[in-house]
């Protein structure tokens, strides 16, 4: 499973690169702020439990990379990235998650 730094993601977004952002945090955390354009899937508990069907209904474009996002870039986004990669997608887990994104001073909505 590959990871992507917040700096690189910010660069991609500034350049207008097409990327699918999948935010897997609980709704309460999402309400505190999110990366603009990210898709929210409240799958946190299922991902923590390593439920293989946690993202089964999620359909994403296959022509662009996917970046999974959780609070700290650990278990939930890594499991999400592994599940999506197993479906043949190019996937990265955001290093440090939303915590690192906010610490870097990048914008949220």
Domain that holds residue 20: 2-103
* Residue 26 binned pLDDT confidence (cut-offs 50, 70, 90): very high
For residue 74, the model assigns a pLDDT of 87
Q: Which pTM was predicted?
A: 0.95
Residue 35 within any structural domain of the chain: yes
Residue 52 within any structural domain of the chain: yes
> In total, how many domains does the chain have?
1
For residue 1, the model assigns a pLDDT of 72
Element (H, E) at 2: strand 2-4
User: Residues 6 or more apart from 19 whose CB is under 8 A from it?
Assistant: 9, 12, 13, 64, 65, 66, 67
Going by their DSSP bridges, the two strands 66-69 and 39-40 should be labelled as: unpaired
């Amino acid at each position: 499973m590959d990871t992507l730094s917040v700096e690189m993601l910010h660069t991609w977004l500034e350049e207008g690169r097409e990327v699918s952002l999948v935010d897997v945090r609980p709704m309460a955390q999402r309400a505190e702020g999110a990366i603009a354009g990210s898709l929210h899937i409240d799958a946190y508990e299922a991902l923590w439990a390593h439920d293989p069907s946690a993202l089964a209904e999620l359909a994403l474009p296959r022509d662009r990379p996917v970046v999974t996002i959780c609070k700290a870039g650990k278990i939930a986004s890594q499991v999400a990235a592994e599940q999506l990669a197993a479906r043949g997608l190019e996937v990265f887990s955001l290093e440090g998650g939303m915590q690192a994104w906010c610490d870097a001073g990048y914008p949220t909505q």
